[in-house]
Structure 1
């Protein structure tokens, strides 16, 4: 409860309109029909299915949902007693990373991720968990991402005064702690995130807005408000770059969100610039380091002449008589 209060307080400035971008509308893609999905805290689109998991308090299970009907078509049980499951990230065809990374009291010595098979069938699996350790101190986190180009996993913390993105080691050990590495700063109260298909951009959300970052520089590309939801926490990007958001609660809709034009334009790769024409033989190339002004000169001469005349009149008026 205290964590949610902090989240609401952090979202107040955005609700009051201090974010420069206009609000974004959403359309319902489908609605979760499964009454067991009551606290959808993460969202992944993969292999034509939407994957989600309940927030802390549930057993370790991942729901695979058919967006055509909203019905659950498969549940993978991977743990009976996780500590605080909060996140999912793609982990290759038929798999997701599950993040047992929540830590509201910021007192856990380590957190864990597990690669879990998912799909249109029920299954109970026993997969190895990989222990993660922050380089500085314990953090609460609800966001797990994976780079579509390399498969590398990242954790974004849910710190009130500004979070941070951490990289998981490329090669994970199942027998010893895996030390995280700080990558860059992110928005406060991050509740979920995802890479875009190009691997050059990622999006993170809080309860009311989303921020798009260039990767790996983590420079902010744009920010925009998300549609109003009961407790919006999940965000996912499909293979075409379409954005979806989800909310905690029973029978909640998953919304398809259109990116604002300025953000969409920023994500578009620049077209190859047309090379300048080669200089003609015997003609100096003045295209580099020289700015040519094609505006007519007479307005500048006229303005300068008027200024000089006014100065002369002023000086004459000041001469003693």
Structure 2
């Protein structure tokens, strides 16, 4: 759903986002970045790389759409399949998508723009279609509650080895990683418990293909964590691209790239090199790129033009937070 302050951020970032293709990623084919060309997809809020169909990314709108997910071909930006979920209620605020073991797709209807007023939210699970075509697929619906009360969230991840589901709540001053039960149940509510602090205003998250790293992004940055068996350990900052309303992130299928998406019509998905060791084999990803590791913090800025753009983002962020505090005092 559109957030007024996030839209203001988009306006402030308009000039900063006008980077040359070499810095911004452009509309290159496949895992080098692409543009979503489906006019129905105007609020892409989640992104997941297909396991069965290399080069395909699953996405969805976040609200006022319906029980749909879309398979987008990253080589063309075109939707090649629309899947309708059968057996679920009317989605309220779908914010995340992730793929777990056995090619099971998990869709997180976990947004709560009322600030944590809904007593429960939902997760939908369905098998990834073996054939890409418009079709209806029966999904399983799970009720989710939090052990410490209702909250807003936009990040849902499924560990690729264990299948356990995790949620990161969305709080301006940082939130928490919530762990679900070992196995979701359709009988009664599934209680998610906080297990670690996340120092970010999180809008999405993703596991590396080997399950050893967790990437969490926000509007103005991101953090890479070593998974460490669930006891996450901060590894460094992520090189999150400049986007008007950054809502999604996914590892590429081979783990060499992090794919960052944004809301809006004809929204771009931009690729950045993933931290070392994120690939399926656990080895450092190969291949070149414009990014170079920063001194101890994982930052990968390149070029004075991009640095200047980041400065604009920082100023915009400070201005936005100041406006919010003034409005609260008023």
TM-score past 0.5 threshold: yes
One of 42, 48, 54 as aligned partner of 1:44: 48
Q: In structure 1, what is the equivalent of residue 305 of structure 2?
A: none
Distance 1:43 1:250 in 2: 16
Q: In structure 2, what is the equivalent of residue 68 of structure 1?
A: 75
Q: In structure 2, what is the equivalent of residue 298 of structure 1?
A: none
Q: Which runs of 4+ in 1 moved over 4 A?
A: 1-4, 6-9, 265-271
TM-score by length of 2: 0.71
User: Aligned pair in 2 of structure 1 residues 265, 115: CA closer, same or farther (>3 Å)?
Assistant: closer
- Per the alignment, in what secondary structure is the counterpart of residue 201 of structure 2? coil
- Structure 1 unaligned blocks of 5 or more: 13-23, 272-321
User: Aligned pair in 2 of structure 1 residues 25, 264: CA closer, same or farther (>3 Å)?
Assistant: farther
Distance 1:246 1:150 in 2: 26
* Mapped pair 1:165 → 2:177: yes
- Structure 2 unaligned blocks of 5 or more: 13-22, 28-32, 285-330
Which deviates more, 69-78 or 118-127?
Answer: 118-127
Distance 1:7 1:230 in 2: 7
Q: In structure 2, what is the equivalent of residue 221 of structure 1?
A: 235
User: Aligned pair in 2 of structure 1 residues 173, 55: CA closer, same or farther (>3 Å)?
Assistant: same
Could you report, residue by residue, the CA deviation over 1:195-236 in whole angstroms, capped at 9, with x for unpaired residues?
112212100000121100111221210013421112111100
How far residue 190 of structure 1 moved from its aligned partner, in angstroms, is 0.7
Distance 1:95 1:213 in 2: 24
Q: In structure 2, what is the equivalent of residue 88 of structure 1?
A: 97
Q: How does 1:301-312 map to 2 (within 5 A)?
A: none
User: Aligned pair in 2 of structure 1 residues 68, 6: CA closer, same or farther (>3 Å)?
Assistant: closer
Could you report, residue by residue, the CA deviation over 1:80-133 in whole angstroms, capped at 9, with x for unpaired residues?
621111110103455310001011221111111011234411122342211111
Could you report, residue by residue, the CA deviation over 1:266-293 in whole angstroms, capped at 9, with x for unpaired residues?
999799xxxxxxxxxxxxxxxxxxxxxx
- Per the alignment, in what secondary structure is the counterpart of residue 88 of structure 1? strand
- Per the alignment, in what secondary structure is the counterpart of residue 195 of structure 2? strand
Distance 1:270 1:126 in 2: 37
Could you report, residue by residue, the CA deviation over 1:279-311 in whole angstroms, capped at 9, with x for unpaired residues?
xxxxxxxxxxxxxxxxxxxxxxxxxxxxxxxxx
* Mapped pair 1:108 → 2:118: yes
- Per the alignment, in what secondary structure is the counterpart of residue 5 of structure 2? helix
Q: In structure 2, what is the equivalent of residue 232 of structure 1?
A: 246
Could you report, residue by residue, the CA deviation over 1:141-194 in whole angstroms, capped at 9, with x for unpaired residues?
000101111111111100122111111111221121111122201133211110
One of 21, 26, 35 as aligned partner of 2:39: 35
How far residue 249 of structure 1 moved from its aligned partner, in angstroms, is 0.7
Aligned length: 256
Distance 1:179 1:93 in 2: 23
One of 194, 201, 211 as aligned partner of 1:199: 211
User: Aligned pair in 2 of structure 1 residues 74, 95: CA closer, same or farther (>3 Å)?
Assistant: farther
User: Aligned pair in 2 of structure 1 residues 158, 112: CA closer, same or farther (>3 Å)?
Assistant: same
Q: In structure 2, what is the equivalent of residue 276 of structure 1?
A: none
User: Aligned pair in 2 of structure 1 residues 248, 104: CA closer, same or farther (>3 Å)?
Assistant: same
Query: Which has the higher Rg, Structure 1 or Structure 2?
Result: 1
Distance 1:115 1:208 in 2: 30
